[in-house]
Amino acid sequence: MKGWTGRILWIDLSSRKIQIQEYSGDFARRYVGGRGFAARILWDHVPAGTDPLSPQNLLVFAAGPLTGLPGPSTGKLVVATKSPLTHGYGDGNIGTRAAVGMRRAGFDAVVVKGRAEKPVYLYVEDGKAEVLSAEDLWGLDAFSAERKLLEKHGKAAGALVIGPAGERLVAYATVISQEGRSGGRVGVGAVMGSKNLKAVVFNGREGVEVADEGALRRLAADSYREIKRRPQYGFWMRQGTMMTIQWSQENSVLPTFNFSEGVFEESGSIDGYAMEKVKKGQRGCPNCNMACGNYVLDDEGEVSELDYENVAMLGSNLGIGDLARVARLNRLADMWGVDTINLGAVLSYAVEASQNGLLGERIEWGDFDQILALARDIVERSGVGDVLARGLLEASSKLGGSEYAMHVKGLSISAYDCHAAPGMALSYGVSPIGAHHKDAWIISWEVAHGRFEYSRGKAARVIELQRIRGGIFETLVACRLPWVEVGLELDWYMRIFNAVTGLSWSLSDHFQVADRIYNLIRAFWVREYTAEGREWSRVLDHPPAKWFKKPLTAGPLRGARLDPVKYDELLGYYYSMRGWDFRGVPRASTLEALGLADVKSDLEKYIRLTP
């Protein structure tokens, strides 16, 4: 088996037992890596109905066959678990030296179960693992904890750490690396916290054996050169994803005032051009030549790494038009180890709830001091912050205002308003982790191709994007941005994959793996919902009520809103093309055709399947 190390490291923190599993080539070819490995491991080893914060839940760190090898933006890792925020499948993708370190240490994945009695961290080096005390790290913010770990294990080590939010089980706590990288917005950080696991650190010096080293080196060098030749490259290197603020404003999709509007009057104060004026530099993930981590100094003079999602969610969506203050909120969120997207959505829900009299005290849009105080309360789990720390689904069921709790299946919407974007709303609705743009960022295509339509073509496009973004890039594991932002063709990835593995796969082979994984993940959701005594239904794939009921009141598209009947029809087209029944549950025949007969048999114990 070339390209894969063929080994998965298992650690039980309760018993301190460490095992190395050698997996088969068949497993590698059926699930490829990253999300594929994670989904199958969680399906097989998390008992149905497990409490996500219990020792029985698993934490999976999974690389793919491209991870850490020469090639465009391959310094990435998937972190996955049964989500404490959604109680369904959850994963995230993080760029980090830990990705390279894990592969060089000889593992394609690390799986953690159990719970340590006292705070610990996991140290993995060249095929060996140790569980070490983290009592001196517990309570530290993520940046300080990582610095201490790198002082001890060397600057070349890769570390994944949690901050106070993970320790206090904030349901959307993330894993942090390199002081600004954050992954696992479904609450992977909280699961680490529940296991008393402060960090995972990798040091590796071994290489991964590949099928054709010469071809890989040539393809890598050529693809890096190709990226730099693209006309988008210069602008990308100046603004990165921050250019999307202006783009979203012009297309009326910039989330504003808790997704009530798609335009923000002060967008020019927080957009890419505003950022360029105060930009201090940029940072990237390993193996990347289009670094997107633009950093500025915030209003306290501290470094803050900005991108579109965190500036939109902590800026326009809260009515804050001051980039230096948005940068402070963003930097604090990273230090606390909490997801900026969920945090922005929860805070904006709280502002709207306060204005509807649900919180006692009234908070105004853009009131930075009150918003910051509320954010601190969430991380400290103080007062109403304790309820808000549980996420939008649970908070709105306790406090009220569910019609403006902007989430799907518990995971907050990321930074695109969908009043006039039914395809993007579908993408959020059927995303495999709850509302997120990662899998099918259709909105750019949609605004140019009949944005008010609810067509079969749109459903088909969502599936195509899911196969590429959520399938290929999440299994290889490599960053999708060279393909998305400068148009590096998918063929480069196919050729690199084949050089690494010695296989002769085409796009359709990767698409079949993607479909297998999507169905496995959907089966996981249905199994967990059913095992927890909750009913699975197609309404779970609907976006929040606000977009149907409350039209835009500002901008060129004022009056626009989603049509609930047509949205449901669009969802039906998607189900039909996926081979899912009217409930959005995979048909028995679909699972069998994808080689998931064992999953079908297991799922039938929980729910009646349509043939």
Partner 1 sequence: MYYGYLSDLAGTRENVVSVRDGASVRVRELIAERVIKLGESSLIILVNDTPSTLEALVKAGDTVKVLPHVGGG
Q: Which residues bind partner 1 (CB under 8 A)?
A: 231-232, 234-236, 239, 241, 243-244, 246-248, 250-251, 307-309, 415-416, 437, 441, 444-445, 447-448, 451, 480-481, 484-485, 555-556
CB of 192 to partner 1, least distance (A): 24
Distances (CA, A) of 98 to 5, 62, 113, 154, 159: 16, 11, 19, 13, 5
Nearest residue (CB) to partner 1, 249 versus 260: 249
CB of 416 to partner 1, least distance (A): 8
CB of 586 to partner 1, least distance (A): 29
Nearest residue (CB) to partner 1, 235 versus 582: 235
For 76-148, strand residue ranges (E) read 76-82, 89-95, 109-113, 120-125, 128-133
CB of 176 to partner 1, least distance (A): 17
Nearest residue (CB) to partner 1, 108 versus 271: 271
Tokens (6 digits) for 224 = 């890096």
Tokens (6 digits) for 106 = 């000889």
Nearest residue (CB) to partner 1, 349 versus 441: 441
CB of 345 to partner 1, least distance (A): 16
Q: Which amino acid belongs to residue 611? A: P
The Cα–Cα gap between 70 and 495 comes to: 13
For 217-366, strand residue ranges (E) read 281-283, 293-297, 303-306
Which is nearest to 347 in space by CA: 328, 370, 331? 370
Nearest residue (CB) to partner 1, 3 versus 262: 262
- Which residues, at least 6 apart from 401, have a Cβ–Cβ distance to it below 8 Å? 349, 352, 353, 356, 358
3-state SS, residue 93: strand
H or E element in which residue 570 lies: helix 564-578
Looking up tokens 């609810």 gives 454
Nearest residue (CB) to partner 1, 5 versus 241: 241
CB of 326 to partner 1, least distance (A): 16
Distances (CA, A) of 274 to 238, 244, 246, 303, 331: 12, 12, 10, 16, 18
CB of 243 to partner 1, least distance (A): 5
Total residues found in the chain within this entry: 611
Nearest residue (CB) to partner 1, 207 versus 556: 556
Nearest residue (CB) to partner 1, 282 versus 444: 444
CB of 262 to partner 1, least distance (A): 12
CB of 594 to partner 1, least distance (A): 28
CB of 324 to partner 1, least distance (A): 22
CB of 529 to partner 1, least distance (A): 29
Nearest residue (CB) to partner 1, 232 versus 382: 232
Nearest residue (CB) to partner 1, 231 versus 357: 231
Nearest residue (CB) to partner 1, 134 versus 472: 472
Q: Is 110 exposed, middle or buried (0-12, 13-18, 19+ CB in 10 A)?
A: buried
The Cα–Cα gap between 58 and 81 comes to: 6
The Cα–Cα gap between 374 and 409 comes to: 24
Q: Is 1 exposed, middle or buried (0-12, 13-18, 19+ CB in 10 A)?
A: middle
3-state SS, residue 571: helix
DSSP 272: H
Which is nearest to 23 in space by CA: 44, 37, 13, 35? 37
CB of 450 to partner 1, least distance (A): 9
| Torsion angle of the four alpha carbons 114, 118, 123, 127, in this order, in degrees rounded to the nearest 10 | -40
Tokens (6 digits) for 585 = 């549950």
Nearest residue (CB) to partner 1, 199 versus 227: 227
